[in-house]
Amino acid sequence: MEFVAILMGSKSDYNVMSECVSVLKKFDVPYEVIISSAHRSPQRTKDYIKSAEEKGAKVFIAAAGMAAHLAGAVASMTTKPVIGVPLKGGALDGLDSLLSTVQMPSGMPVGTVALGKTGAVNSAYLAMQILALSNSELEGKLREDRVMKAKNVELDSSDIEVIL
């Protein structure tokens, strides 16, 4: 079974990453969630990546704050797509995690999304777009979601619209 593997560096990260989980649930996309730190539990991280790949993980989402090494560590252990979600916190309020996640060396890509909840949501959508390359049913759900988003813009506008 294909699924999305979600890793986060600490339990407190779940407050943000639950947004990612909610999106995947909405689209009935299978996922796993694990807490594993690139710094505090590197062997656990390595073991999980191997196990997840054997079970069918097709995309990895890694969320971390501060030094945000988790996404890079995951990318070093798999050739599957890795999406990094930088999280706020620490002295630089997320700028450090954003820069750590986005500044990967050549040949070790990490697709990086926005900080925080927006990034968590977008990581789920990006993972689903990757899965939809070989899943026409999921592609159809994503297309319908876009149609609904466009309709919602029109509805919101109709509540306040003034056109001469």
Q: Tens digit of pLDDT for each residue in 50-87? A: 999 999 999 999 999 988 899 999 999 999 999 999 99
Neighbouring C-beta atoms of residue 154, cutoff 10 Å = 9
Predicted local confidence at residue 159, as pLDDT:
87
Question: DSSP secondary-structure letter at 9?
Answer: S
Q: Residue 118 forms beta bridges with which residues?
A: none
DSSP-derived secondary structure letter, 4:
E
State the Cα–Cα distance between residues 21 and 99, nearest whole angstrom.
Answer: 24
Show the low-confidence residues of the chain (pLDDT under 70): none
Q: Sheet of 82-87: strands edge to edge?
A: 31-35, 3-8, 57-65, 82-87, 111-112
In the annotated binding site, the residues are 10, 13, 40
- On whether the CB atoms of residues 55 and 84 are closer than 8 A, the answer is no
Write out the DSSP string of 75-137.
HHH-SS-EEEEEE--TTTTTHHHHHHHH-PPTT---EE--SHHHHHHHHHHHHHHHHHTT-HH
Annotated binding residues for substrate: 10, 13, 40
